[in-house]
Amino acid sequence: DLLRMEGKKIMDKAYHVILLEDPEQKVFSIRRTIGVEQYHAFFEELFREAAARGLTQAGPIQMLYHDEEFNHERSDVEAQMVVAQEGPDVRVRPACLCAAVQHRGPYENLHLAYEALCAWLGEHSEYRMCGPAMDRYFGDPDNTPPEQLETGVLFPVEKAAAEGTAE
């Protein structure tokens, strides 16, 4: 299609960055330092551990990236599942303002969504990141064709202090 023929520059423009209030969520999570090739097994572990605690999924699964710079071989990541009930190791993730885009397509192209968000932050210096980047997954990669996968990419943001004022 035209976007692929024209290359990344035009594809970046396909992302519409919005500001949204991400609601408070009850989540069960596990956190590890692992490489990208281990993500699938990591989410399988999340589902096993949630089932062992009797937890019921009540929303999407998501991955938080705690390192300042992403590393394919070794990153501090946290897999979360939105759950219906209280239980062992369940906590409330507070609501937060996020700059967000919706990515449609294979996970291998998620970097384009990140580039769009980073460009938006560069153009909107009144905001700064205030928490780990998050991928929110809609659809099961085992049962959804890669080109139909939907992923929300969210950067928690806050208003930056105006120059010359104390924070």
Mean pLDDT of 26-41: 96
5 pLDDT more than 60: no
CA–CA separation, 63 and 80 (whole Å): 6
Give the pLDDT score at 10: 42
| CA 163 to the chain's CA centroid | 30
Contact between 57 and 81 (Cβ < 8 Å)? yes
Give the pLDDT score at 164: 52
Q: SS3 for the chain, per residue?
A: CHHHHHCHHHHHHCCCCEEEEECCEEEEEEEEEECHHHHHHHHHHHHHHHHHCCCCEEEEEEEEECCCCCCCCCEEEEEEEEECCCCCCEEEECCEEEEEEEEECCHHHHHHHHHHHHHHHHHCCCEEECCCEEEEEECCCCCCCHHHCEEEEEEEEEECCCCCCCC
pLDDT tens digits, one per residue of 86-125: 998 999 999 999 999 999 999 999 999 999 999 999 999 9
Percent of the chain clearing pLDDT 70 (strictly above): 89
User: How many of the other CB atoms lie within 10 Å of CB of 38?
Assistant: 15
pLDDT tens digits, one per residue of 66-79: 998 889 999 999 99
The pair of three-digit structure tokens given for residue 123, joined into one six-digit string: 């153009």
User: How many of the other CB atoms lie within 10 Å of CB of 106?
Assistant: 14
1 pLDDT more than 70: no
What is this structure's pTM? Answer: 0.86
13 pLDDT more than 80: no
Average pLDDT of the chain, as a whole number? 90
CA–CA separation, 80 and 86 (whole Å): 14
Count of residues in the chain = 167
